[in-house]
Structure 1
Amino acid sequence: MSGHGFHVHGPHDHEVEHAVHAKAHGAEGLKGQLAVITAVLATIGALFSYQGGATQANAGLYKNDAAIKKTEASNQWAYYQSKSSKQNLAELAVALLPEGERRATYQAEIQRYKTEKDEIKAKAEGLERESAAFEKKSDAQMHEHHRWAQATTALQVAIALAAIALLTERRWLEWGTVALGGVGVVLGGLAWFHI
């Protein structure tokens, strides 16, 4: 009984206090820690997953832009080829015609076709460079996407390991969860810095 600041504990009270103290630092403490760790990993994983999806979409858009530029370049090369054919016909006409005014007309056409072909060739080569640049951007985005996917996967496995640690109440599995979560964060950092 207690009275005026004096309290007597029975043996049962003492054991209950020990059990509560042990529970706070044992399995119950593990559960709270794993809940926080899981929430943090899930939040980071959601952000990484978003980034992975964004980079994959960007890679697709760049690949599409590369295909468009490649098609435009192909069209320019076809146009170049048609000008070459016309130039060849004009050269044939010069070779077959006798000296005269018509021959001078064809020679002027030959010169015009050469000038036009140079412009068309420059445009086609420029479009091919643009296509190659878009291909390079697409490849870089896909590499970054793979890093984000690796990071997200590591975090998902860490969350699964946390569930196993919770069910088995094994402290070493909690450390495994933290370690694997760390690997996921490092992979996410590599993706962030485009490595």
Structure 2
Amino acid sequence: MSGHGFHVHGPHDHEIEHAAHADPKGLAGQLAVITAVLATVGAMFSYMGGATQANAGLYKNDAAIKKTEAANQWALYQSKSNKQNMAELALALVPEDKKAGYQKEVERYKEEKSGIREKAEALDKESQAFDEKSAEQMHLHHRWAQATTALQVSIALAAIALLTKKRWMEWATVGLGLLGFGLGGMAALHL
């Protein structure tokens, strides 16, 4: 274009104008819409996959914390058992006038161990529950990842269909996209 108002079209200008005013109902238009939908849903599925993976990690961390707390309680339980055993040994070895004191210790350790054992078992159950939640979240993560992968491959097929102008490739794109939607639906339903 010159500065005097004279305009010369480049070889591609006509094609750009034609494409801008073209009817989007052809193969290219259909594939553009399909690709946009697949990419949008794929982005949502990808987000859900990341979220469930993060949740799985958090639950696994909580399980480890509870397992450590349970292990601490079991160590305390073992310590009380050792002290109880020592008191029982002393009970067997000391003269009669000192046995009453050791018998009280034996009973005290038995009582303390009971509460410690209950707490340790409860912490073990909490740890197991967090492990199960983590496993469930990882299963969902895999479903979301499968769905995302199917949609990504479907988008790649759309590009191939556009380049080759093969209608059957468009149908393959739609079919794989529907598979991705189905896998995402299974993840959403926790299947």
The structure with more radius of gyration:
1
Q: Shorter-chain TM-score category? A: 0.7 to 0.9
Aligned residue in 2 for 1:191: 187
Alignment map for 1:72-151 (pairs within 5 Å): 72-100=69-97, 102-151=98-147
Q: Considering only aligned residues, what root-mean-square deviation do their CA atoms show, in Å?
A: 1.2
Q: CA shift at 1:98, angstroms?
A: 1.0
Aligned residue in 2 for 1:7: none
Aligned residue in 1 for 2:158: 162
Which of 62, 66, 81 does residue 63 from structure 2 map onto? 66
SS of the equivalent of 1:60 reads helix
How far apart are the structure 2 equivalents of 1:51 and 1:177?
23
- Show structure 1 runs of 4+ deviating over 2 A: none
SS of the equivalent of 1:81 reads helix
How far apart are the structure 2 equivalents of 1:166 and 1:45?
20
Q: Which runs of 5+ in 2 are unaligned?
A: 1-21
How far apart are the structure 1 equivalents of 2:36 and 2:101?
81
Alignment map for 1:24-35 (pairs within 5 Å): 29-35=26-32
TM-score scaled to structure 1, two decimals? 0.85
How far apart are the structure 1 equivalents of 2:65 and 2:23?
64
How far apart are the structure 1 equivalents of 2:105 and 2:91?
10
SS of the equivalent of 2:190 reads coil
How far apart are the structure 2 equivalents of 1:170 and 1:81?
73
Q: Which runs of 5+ in 1 are unaligned?
A: 1-22
TM-score scaled to structure 2, two decimals? 0.87
Confirm whether residue 171 of structure 1 aligns to residue 181 of structure 2: no
